Structure 1
Amino acid sequence: MNIVIIGGDAAGMSAAMQIVRAQPKWQITVLEKGAIYSYGQCGLPYYIGGIIKSHNELIVRAREVFQDRYGIDARIYHEVKEINHKKQRVIGTYHEGNSAKNFSLPYDKLIVASGASPVMPPFTGKNLAGIHVLKTIPDAQKIIDELTSNVLNVTVIGAGYIGLEVTENLVASGRKVTLIDAADQIGSSIYESDISEKIKQEAVKNGAEVLLSTSVSGFEGDGQVERVITDNGPLETDMVIVAAGIKPNTDFFTNTDIHLHQSGAIVVNPYMETTLPHVYAAGDCATHYHRLKQRDDYIPLGTHANKQGRIAGANVAGNRKAFKGVVGSAIVKFFDVTIGKTGLNEKEATELGIACCKLSYTTTTHASYYPGNNQLFIHMIKNRDTDVLLGVQAVGAIGVDKRIDVAATALYHEMTTEDLENLDLSYAPPFNSTWDPIQQGARRL
């Protein structure tokens, strides 16, 4: 069996390893557009900030390991341009130095794990030096190389996860950072307004400038970016990092009748099969079934990519497995606090026609009399008619991850707030209160 995989990162190599272990005699060819295999993209902001000292620490398995130990034909600089699903061939260009050669490979089964690319809006002057996106190790390395002592003011456009993490790390390096977003709150499509306000307060407390309801139209400078042009006037800057979201890499399906999601991601069924025969997809280029919304969604995260890649590989190799879906869990460190969320926010619930009850409250991470107590702010919503939990968001210095993971488990199993109240959660004064913060909210709600 001849297997071709497009993409050599999380989803692609998770799939490849499943096939290698189940079908060691099969031929596996991986086509990677860049030169680096299997690395932790989520660690890139911390590499820029110097917490991760070398990009090699981000690489899980080097290309040579896949080739020499597992017999995978792991190719680099192979850019896919087209899929001919009728002839079952992958067509593209191999870049070597300054030359480019065309290639055409046959496949018995194809796994598309092509990931996603950063969005660069149509800003004027976007090609000036000093304007960056962040998605790959070379992207991060270029930013680091240009972060000289002359770069004192950095502008970050986009207040999503990457924008927040980059802002934190650049402030920690001693630079003045301005965080810009067109929305009127941070993470407007993700966080409840009270959670967003606490994120903004944390940014300001640590010296970052936050400009919300501010639209960027372009950049100015003499070869090098010097100003960001906004609807509220120009801003002087020495560097710009654009974190305006990502777009699935699916353009090579243009001449096919494959079913794409409104986001541009490939629609897959629970077995990672696409609407094209013998073609599977996984990771940031594919949809993710949302268990609460009960429909396909697009939530590109490393956890989903690894799971979907593993499932795609298992199914290709003949071991039938299904992807059980997501509930919308995410977490981010931002200066001295952690922000976590899982499930739906109030806006999403309303758009789904769900009548919900909400509760915001401040509590403590463990027994009030034990030293080292910290405040925890939690926002919780439930279905008004069924009492089923719909979503939880939290901000605090410690303890957020534990509560979000408990809530995510409850959401997966469609538990009610009464179910939450009855959970047997661990307790001792250094770790918790007799009523866990999540249970406190469940009782009140």
Structure 2
Amino acid sequence: MTMKYVIIGGDAAGMSAAMQIVRRNKDADVTTLEMGEYYSYAQCGLPYAVGGLVKGGLDDLVARDVETFRSKYGIDARVNHEVTHVDTEKKLVSGKDFSVPYDKLLIATGASPIVPDWDGADLDGIHTVKTIPDTEAVIKDMHNDTHHIAVIGGGYIGLEMAENFVEQGKKVTMIERGPQLAGIFDQEMANLIHEEAEKHGVKLLFNEEVKGFKGDSRVEEIVTDKQSFKVDMVIVAIGVKPNTHFLEDCGVHLHENGAIQVNGYMETNIPDVYAAGDCATQYHRIKEHDDFIPLGTHANKQGRIAGLNMAGDSRTFKGIVGTSIMKFFSLTLGRTGLSLREAEELRIPTEIVDAEIPHHATYYPGSEILTIRLMYQRHTEQLLGAQIIGKEGVDKRIDVLATALYHKMTMEDLENLDLAYAPPYNGVWDPIQQASRRRG
């Protein structure tokens, strides 16, 4: 008997799972239901398409189009199919004008940008950046006599969009209701990000909350709790919420933030129902509990694990440590593990090492300073987290530290690592080893 697999969602997690199923079961009947028109595209590349850095345009961000999944892999890949209900007793998913039965179901519906119910939020010129059509609209609007752009939110998307707008010659104001940009970094590290933004002409408004927008049919003015000012366009980038609203009555357990609760096998509490990606929880190896950090790396891994288990293999998702990296003008911002705030919330006794260290031998041309923060458990000296900001060499170090966190290494373990050295790349002691040696 042919096994009927249904996957809701056609991007990172969903199609990673689908490919594992068809590779392991040539006779599998796989149906994927995507509410939009695009499959398997690089969401993380969208801001760089706005900045003109993706030379082939938005089409270059599509890894595999829908026709490839149909003709090459035999997947019944459907577009414009939004699922509105899941009946876990009858094993049936449905939406407007369609219903599909399943033997095994994967929910990989991702997340959507949060847009509060602000006055005037439906005016033209107010955008989010999550999909290719979103980005097409931004690019078109950006060239429509648009000079001053307000970016609401200082996270990944907000920072990347601000940079790419500036590179396109736009005047940018960033509005953050908290005291800093990049809330995943500690305040002391975020100050370096603020300096970089201001150096490139970005106006920063902190501790300021948006109340609404004014304009006839198009946004002309943004109103906060402190002031109002003229704008030509607005980007809303204050975070995302899991796309799980259609599951409220089907018995699937949800996390308090709306993400689907899964175990290591990507199983939900309902037999034969799996979940993966930005709509699901991720186990955090340092916090030792489920978390919600929606990133493409996690979605691809979780989707692969879900597909393997659905196809009959037995694999577990090993968890995350909270690693991320991004470019912001001339700086690279990297972090992994816990921030100081997170460590304090978990009541972990924490010590900090702050250091400024050249990224390679100072006598070799081109040496740049790395600003490093390492956090460790006071009594055991187990590494808890790290943040690094600099112009060169951040990625190399943050990946070493992420690996150290995965294996729950101590600060002394860091010192003992056998890391690559040559003057163009490093010092005899790597900067993270030098920082570790400066602990009290």
Shift of 1:149: 5.1
| Distance (whole Å) between structure 2 residues aligned to residue 257 and residue 207 of structure 1 | 50
Q: Does 1:7 align with 2:1?
A: no
Q: Does 1:111 align with 2:106?
A: yes
Q: Does 1:77 align with 2:67?
A: no
Corresponding residue number in structure 1 for 2:257 = 263
Aligned residues: 436
Q: Does 1:92 align with 2:87?
A: no
Of residues 219, 222, 226, the one that matches 2:220 is: 226
| Distance (whole Å) between structure 2 residues aligned to residue 33 and residue 193 of structure 1 | 39
Question: Helix, strand or coil: the match of 2:85?
Answer: strand
Gaps of 5+ in 1: 94-101
Aligned letter for 1:441?
Answer: A
Q: Does 1:134 align with 2:129?
A: yes
Q: Does the 8 Å contact 2:353/2:436 carry over to 1?
A: no
Corresponding residue number in structure 1 for 2:354 = 360
Corresponding residue number in structure 2 for 1:50 = 52
Aligned letter for 1:16?
Answer: A
1:365-404 alignment to 2 at 5 Å? 365-404=359-398
Of residues 142, 147, 157, the one that matches 2:142 is: 147
TM-score normalised to structure 2 length: 0.98
Corresponding residue number in structure 2 for 1:99 = none
1:409-420 alignment to 2 at 5 Å? 409-420=403-414
TM-score normalised to structure 1 length: 0.97
1:44-443 alignment to 2 at 5 Å? 44-53=46-55, 54-93=57-96, 102-148=97-143, 150-188=145-183, 190-443=184-437
Q: Does 1:29 align with 2:31?
A: yes
Question: Helix, strand or coil: the match of 2:95?
Answer: strand
| Distance (whole Å) between structure 1 residues aligned to residue 366 and residue 238 of structure 2 | 38
| Distance (whole Å) between structure 2 residues aligned to residue 401 and residue 273 of structure 1 | 33
Shift of 1:322: 0.3
Shift of 1:111: 0.4
| Distance (whole Å) between structure 2 residues aligned to residue 202 and residue 149 of structure 1 | 28
| Distance (whole Å) between structure 2 residues aligned to residue 345 and residue 63 of structure 1 | 40
Q: Does the 8 Å contact 2:86/2:247 carry over to 1?
A: yes
| Distance (whole Å) between structure 1 residues aligned to residue 252 and residue 80 of structure 2 | 25
Shift of 1:256: 1.9
| Distance (whole Å) between structure 1 residues aligned to residue 353 and residue 116 of structure 2 | 37
| Distance (whole Å) between structure 2 residues aligned to residue 37 and residue 180 of structure 1 | 32
Gaps of 5+ in 2: none
Encode CA deviations 1:258-316: one digit per residue, 9 max, x unaligned: 11111110010000000111100000000000000000000000000000000000000
Encode CA deviations 1:160-185: one digit per residue, 9 max, x unaligned: 00000000000000000001100011
Deviating more after overlay: 253-262 vs 425-434: 253-262
Of residues 26, 42, 63, the one that matches 1:40 is: 42
Question: Helix, strand or coil: the match of 2:82?
Answer: strand
| Distance (whole Å) between structure 2 residues aligned to residue 186 and residue 282 of structure 1 | 29
| Distance (whole Å) between structure 2 residues aligned to residue 263 and residue 180 of structure 1 | 24
Question: Helix, strand or coil: the match of 2:387?
Answer: strand
| Distance (whole Å) between structure 2 residues aligned to residue 359 and residue 421 of structure 1 | 14
Shift of 1:121: 1.0
| Distance (whole Å) between structure 2 residues aligned to residue 121 and residue 346 of structure 1 | 29
Question: Helix, strand or coil: the match of 1:377?
Answer: strand
| Distance (whole Å) between structure 1 residues aligned to residue 425 and residue 87 of structure 2 | 57
| Distance (whole Å) between structure 1 residues aligned to residue 37 and residue 100 of structure 2 | 19
Corresponding residue number in structure 2 for 1:97 = none
Aligned letter for 2:178?
Answer: A
Of residues 21, 25, 40, the one that matches 1:19 is: 21
Encode CA deviations 1:335-361: one digit per residue, 9 max, x unaligned: 000000000011111111110001211
Deviating more after overlay: 312-321 vs 46-55: 46-55
What's the C-alpha RMSD, in Å, of the aligned pairs? 0.7
| Distance (whole Å) between structure 2 residues aligned to residue 212 and residue 355 of structure 1 | 30
Shift of 1:150: 1.3
Aligned letter for 1:332?
Answer: M
Shift of 1:126: 0.2
Q: Does the 8 Å contact 2:332/2:389 carry over to 1?
A: yes
Shift of 1:187: 2.1
- Runs of 4+ with >2 A deviation: none
Encode CA deviations 1:110-159: one digit per residue, 9 max, x unaligned: 00100011100111100111000010000000011111251000000000
| Distance (whole Å) between structure 2 residues aligned to residue 238 and residue 389 of structure 1 | 46
